[in-house]
């Protein structure tokens, strides 16, 4: 099986990777649904909404800041690095459900973040945009 995958990768002109929480778990980013996942402590379906932010901005900021703390301390793992390395040989696009930016930190240049980025913020009133690049 490994030989077949290697052969196909060598023959490929373009590769699309679709990634989710599993790829970043090895980097120490908890998944939402695993036994140590974030669902355990928070109802993410409620907190990850604009309505929750308007209702309780302090709680939502605390929740996102806790998530950012995990992300800022995480490093890209071999999976992230392998995908980035392939860009040297073939056109690669990565579609990810992750918001952690680890693909980009590993060196991937064509990453589409389906759920956005936890690092980029945007004001819903004035359209101000910026990046949170350090811990609070």
Residue 133, phi-psi category: left (phi > 0), alpha (psi -120 to 50), beta (remainder): alpha
Angle at 78 between CA 28 and CA 113, to 5 degrees: 70
Q: Is 115 annotated as catalytic?
A: yes
Taken in order of first residue, the domains within the chain and their CATH numbers are 2-131 (3.40.50.1220)
Q: Are 37 and 116 in contact (CB under 8 A)?
A: no
Name the active-site residue from 115, 116, 121, 131: 115
Per-residue pLDDT of the chain (136 residues; tens, 9 = 90+): 889 988 988 899 999 999 998 999 999 997 765 555 555 567 777 888 889 999 999 988 888 888 888 899 999 999 999 999 999 999 999 999 999 999 999 999 999 999 989 888 888 788 888 887 665 4
Go through 24-54 and write b for each residue having 16 or more CB atoms within 10 A of its CB, e for each that does not: bbebebbeeeeeeebeeebebeebbeeebbe
pTM for the predicted model, two decimal places:
0.81
């Amino acid at each position: 099986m490994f030989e077949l995958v290697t052969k196909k990768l060598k023959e490929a002109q373009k590769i699309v990777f679709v990634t989710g929480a599993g790829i970043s778990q090895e980097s120490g980013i908890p998944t939402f649904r695993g036994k140590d996942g974030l669902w355990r402590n928070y109802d993410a379906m409620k907190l990850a909404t604009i309505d929750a932010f308007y209702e309780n901005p302090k709680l939502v900021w605390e929740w996102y800041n806790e998530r950012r703390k995990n992300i800022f301390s995480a490093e890209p793992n071999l999976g992230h690095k392998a995908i980035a390395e392939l860009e040297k040989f073939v056109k690669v696009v990565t579609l990810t459900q992750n918001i952690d930016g680890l693909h980009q930190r590993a060196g991937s240049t064509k990453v589409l973040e389906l759920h956005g980025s936890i690092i980029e913020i945007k004001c819903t009133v004035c359209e101000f945009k910026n990046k949170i690049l350090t811990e609070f």
